[in-house]
């Protein structure tokens, strides 16, 4: 952490942000390659061909949900084609392989007293999924989507928050070491709606999550929090897109990641667009990485495009620090062994973020999982 550098990234000139293709049909997309900007950090050979958009499922995920008053869960509802298309071949491919959709509804005006926990458990098969989380008007809830087990899984989540609704969605990627997980998390906010989207990625061979925020009306608020830990050989990628297309909306992005071990690779890309009509926008994004040991690589690309000057604020920052030998020596010279020293530094690094996530159910779980993974024991 001695070589901390704040990075200034040039503001890219405005361009047309409409996705080239938006479709539910994978054949509408060209097959991505590592020459595509969106995939330039992604290890394509480790995607089990899911990027071809035509891989067939060999099984399914086991899904379970607790019953919480004010919420409804439909595990296998009918697929409707009346929905917005996806932005890449992987997501559309997943959709095309599915026969049903799971839907969690938080009923209007309900303020849920307990967290809804959707557990998605893999048992090694190739599987696809679509989870819709619909938060009706003026409802509020905390939803934890817990991904565990082993899987080759492309599963998308659509989060729709109606006017005045407020939801915290925590997506936990606590996979076994072999897992592949590819997902788009598309968030749409109604008038004065708010979301806290938390992505916690700890396990898996390759995990690639693409959260995006779309404002359907003014007054929306999005808080995007990410915590990731990549051990030796793991690839963890988060690509965010916040599309400020409405007036007086806020977004705040905080992602923190730690790398431990050889060839650990993390990618964070934060694209924030403030369109010409999005006056009164307030946005900030920050990504911090900590390389604990080994030759890990943390790619961090904040990207802010501003098409109007009439905003409240817009900023970004990115830092990568290294836990170096001098720090280790100092802690050891106070009797703290190497493993404990790494834990101490890691705990310190993530502690404020766990505070911001503020979902007590996951704090201990995340802490324990990270510490168990530290030193490559999982």
Partner 1 sequence: MSVLVIKGLTVEVTTEDGPKEILRGVDLTVKAGEIHALMGPNGSGKSTLAYAIAGHPKYTITGGQVSLDGQDVLEMSVDERARAGLFLAMQYPVEVPGVSISNFLRTSITAIRGEAPNLRHWIKELKESMAGLQIDPQFAERNVNEGFSGGERKRTEILQMELINPKIAVLDETDSGLDVDALRVVSEGINRVCAKGETGVLLITHFTRILKYVKPDFVHVFYDGRIVREGGPELADDIEANGYAQYVTA
- Contact between 2 and partner 1 by CB under 8 A: the answer reads yes
* Cα gap 99→164, rounded to integer Å: 32
- Contact between 3 and partner 1 by CB under 8 A: the answer reads no
- Contact between 295 and partner 1 by CB under 8 A: the answer reads no
* Cα gap 199→226, rounded to integer Å: 5
Helix/strand/coil for 44:
helix
Residue 294 CB, nearest distance to partner 1 (Å)?
16
Residue 354 CB, nearest distance to partner 1 (Å)?
13
Residue 98 CB, nearest distance to partner 1 (Å)?
43
Here's the x/- map for partner 1, 321-360, by CB under 8 A: it reads as x---xxx-xxxxxxxxxx-x---xx-xxx-x---------
* Cα gap 345→330, rounded to integer Å: 12
Among 4, 62, 76, 312, binds partner 1 (CB under 8 A): 4
Burial class of residue 63, CB neighbours in 10 A (0-12, 13-18, 19+) = middle
Of 298, 314, 316, 295, whose CA–CA distance to 306 is shortest? 314
Based on CB atoms, which residue is closest to partner 1, 77 or 348?
Answer: 348
Of 338, 232, 244, 242, whose CA–CA distance to 291 is shortest? 232
Based on CB atoms, which residue is closest to partner 1, 72 or 347?
Answer: 347
Based on CB atoms, which residue is closest to partner 1, 113 or 329?
Answer: 329
Residue 292 CB, nearest distance to partner 1 (Å)?
11
* Cα gap 125→77, rounded to integer Å: 22
* Cα gap 311→246, rounded to integer Å: 12
CB of 189 closer than 8 Å to CB of 223: no
Based on CB atoms, which residue is closest to partner 1, 149 or 321?
Answer: 321
Tokens at residue 136, please? Answer: 């009706």
Based on CB atoms, which residue is closest to partner 1, 220 or 257?
Answer: 257
Question: Which residues of this protein are in contact with partner 1, per CB under 8 A?
Answer: 1-2, 4, 290, 321, 325-327, 329-338, 340, 344-345, 347-349, 351
């Amino acid at each position: 952490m001695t070589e901390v550098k704040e990075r200034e990234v040039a503001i890219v000139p405005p361009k047309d942000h409409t996705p080239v293709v938006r479709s539910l049909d994978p054949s509408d997309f060209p097959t991505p390659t590592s020459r595509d900007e969106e995939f330039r950090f992604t290890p394509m050979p480790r995607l089990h061909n899911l990027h071809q958009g035509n891989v067939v499922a060999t099984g399914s995920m086991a899904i379970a949900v607790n019953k919480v008053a004010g919420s409804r869960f439909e595990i296998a509802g009918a697929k409707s084609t009346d929905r917005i298309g996806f932005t890449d071949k992987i997501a559309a491919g997943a959709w095309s392989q599915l026969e049903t959709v799971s839907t969690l509804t938080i009923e209007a005006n309900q303020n849920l007293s307990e967290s809804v926990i959707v557990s998605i458990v893999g048992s090694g098969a190739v599987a696809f999924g679509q989870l819709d989380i619909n938060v009706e008007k003026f409802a509020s809830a905390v939803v934890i989507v817990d991904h565990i087990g082993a899987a080759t899984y492309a599963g998308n989540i659509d989060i729709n928050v109606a006017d005045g609704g407020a939801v915290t969605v925590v997506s936990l990627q606590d996979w076994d070491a072999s897992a592949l997980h590819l997902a788009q998390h598309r968030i749409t906010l109604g008038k004065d709606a708010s979301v806290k989207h938390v992505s916690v990625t700890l396990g898996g061979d390759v995990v690639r999550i693409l959260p995006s925020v779309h404002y359907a009306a003014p007054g929306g608020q999005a808080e995007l929090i990410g915590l990731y830990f990549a051990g030796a050989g793991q690839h963890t990628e988060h690509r965010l897109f916040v599309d400020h297309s409405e007036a007086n909306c806020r977004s705040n992005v905080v992602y923190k990641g730690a790398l431990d071990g050889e060839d650990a690779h993390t990618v964070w890309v934060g694209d924030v667009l403030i369109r010409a009509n999005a006056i009164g926008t307030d946005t900030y994004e920050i990504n911090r990485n900590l390389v604990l040991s080994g030759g890990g690589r943390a790619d961090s690309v904040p990207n802010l495009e501003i098409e109007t000057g009439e905003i409240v604020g817009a900023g970004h920052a990115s830092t990568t620090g290294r836990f170096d030998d001098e720090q280790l020596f100092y802690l050891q010279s106070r009797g703290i062994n190497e493993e404990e020293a790494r834990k101490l530094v890691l705990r310190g690094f993530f502690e404020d973020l766990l505070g911001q996530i503020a979902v007590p159910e996951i704090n201990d779980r995340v802490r324990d999982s990270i510490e168990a993974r530290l030193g490559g024991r999982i």
